[in-house]
Amino acid sequence: MGKLTAEERPKIGALANEVKEMLQAELDQKRTTLQAAQIEAQLESEAIDVTMPGVYRLQGRTHPITSTVDRMIDIFVGLGYTVATGPEMETDYYNFEALNFLADHPARDMQDTLYLSDGNILRTHTSSVQIRYMEANEPPVRIIMPGRCYRRDTVDATHSAVFHQLEILAVDQGLTFTDLRGTIKIFLETMFGELPIRFRPSFFPFTEPSAEVDVQWRGRWLEVMGCGMVDPNVLKAVGYDPEVYTGFAAGLGIERIAMVLHQIDDIRRLYASDLRFLRQF
């Protein structure tokens, strides 16, 4: 450009700018083409063929106790209940005293209850959760309490020192034994199908009146749970006025229901971790 005349410089300068713009446009277009090709190649290399069979991994099975608990919870949640839990190591107050167990009740004996060195116990039922929940919540109450329990029991085909319970509790104004019967009837018919159900008079320290519930299963009567109206003394222990509120409660052994549903002949099979047994479920 320095050797050009004054007349030539504007012409050559304009031409140089045209060449520069043309080359820049060509470079930009080539860069875009190369980037698109790179993205296309990357997409093709990372593509997943959804029609190819997957890699099989051996799946675990739901334990029959777990599946039975889940089934029960689904039923009661559908009836408007919520799940409540509590500690497995309990005090005598929550496990016995607040539930209206007298000081000389046989259940307090060493033969039935596992006492710890610090004076606490391993809970013998999930009823202790009822007291803890009612202390912290005002009526109305509708809860279910699944959980593990412990008793000094000789292990055989139908008994275990460690077992599972599910209890229900409802407290409100105007609840009657008819409400209890209806709730239990719906639960049992959902679990077992439509079948004869009977209530037999019984006794529990924390309910009055109390009853045992039987179902006619495979041609014979089978006891499946205990139930009753919450004793006024239990309501007083948690600060509820028994002149205003009434309630009902029921409890059942989860292993027993699981054994009936799956035709299991020995409760010890549920805890043996035998894969030949567990693969059936």
Report which of residues 108 and 204 the model is more confident about. 204
ω before 140 within 30° of 0 (cis)?
yes
185 belongs to a structural domain: yes
177 belongs to a structural domain: yes
99-123, pLDDT tens digit by residue?
Answer: 998 777 776 665 588 999 998 999 9
User: pTM for the whole thing?
Assistant: 0.75
217 belongs to a structural domain: yes
Q: Among candidates 125, 119, 136, 135, which has minimal Cα distance to 101?
A: 125
4 belongs to a structural domain: no
Residue 266 lies in domain:
64-278
- Domain tally for the chain? 1
pLDDT of residue 217: 85
**Angle at CA of residue 44, ends 42 and 47, nearest 5°:** 105
Cβ(220)–Cβ(232) under 8 Å? no
- Distance, in Å, from the CA atom of 194 to the CA atom of 272, rounded to the nearest integer, reads 33
Residue 22 tokens read as 């043309």
82 belongs to a structural domain: yes
53-82, pLDDT tens digit by residue?
Answer: 888 877 778 899 999 999 999 999 999 999
At 161, which CATH number? 3.30.930.10
26-51, pLDDT tens digit by residue?
Answer: 999 999 999 999 998 888 888 888 88
188 belongs to a structural domain: yes
Cβ(126)–Cβ(146) under 8 Å? yes
pLDDT of residue 111: 58
- Token pair 């009837």 is found at 185
- Token pair 């035998």 is found at 274
pLDDT(173) > 90: yes
Average pLDDT, the chain: 91
159-168, pLDDT tens digit by residue?
Answer: 899 999 999 9
9 belongs to a structural domain: no
Q: Give the orientation angle of helix 177-192 with respect to helix 64-78, to 10 degrees.
A: 130
25 belongs to a structural domain: no
pLDDT(85) > 80: yes
φ and ψ at 73, to 5 degrees? -60, -40
Which has the minimum average pLDDT: 104-108, 135-139, 252-256? 104-108
pLDDT of residue 97: 92
pLDDT(198) > 80: yes
